[in-house]
Amino acid sequence: MSDPASQLKKGVLEILVLHLLRRGNLYGYQLINELDERSGGYFKLKEGTLYPVLYRLEDSRLVESYWEQTQGKRGVRRKYYRITAAGEDWLKEMTGELALLFHSIYKIMGDERL
């Protein structure tokens, strides 16, 4: 991710992932699909982009993971992620910071914003 658009996306991924996990526990592929669908294709991620984000969030204790066996013949094990209390607090703080950032950008750009 070296182009400017990719850098902007990368900067908000942790906030978006935590927001989705606030709504319910998800495994990686579900997170990829939710980000893609909810953004109208703007956040079309590959596993190699998402999993480092999840690992950072887990290392920071903002999310925790657990394994769950699916029902049925195949019984696939999936690693689910859930937001922690610390993650909830961090998300609340960062959501406020993001709103302040957008507000400040809009003040600077005035009518030039899209």
Which pair of tokens denotes residue 60? 């920071």
Give pTM, 2 decimals: 0.86
Q: What is the 3-state secondary structure (H, E, C) of 58-111?
A: HHCCCEEEEEEECCCCCCCEEEEEEECHHHHHHHHHHHHHHHHHHHHHHHHHHH
- Number of domains observed in the structure of the chain: 1
Give per-residue pLDDT as tens, 70-110: 877 778 899 999 999 999 999 999 999 999 998 898 889 88
Give per-residue pLDDT as tens, 16-69: 999 999 999 999 999 999 999 999 999 999 899 999 999 999 999 999 999 998
Q: The domain that contains 93 carries what CATH number?
A: 1.10.10.10
Which structural domain range is residue 47 located in? 4-112
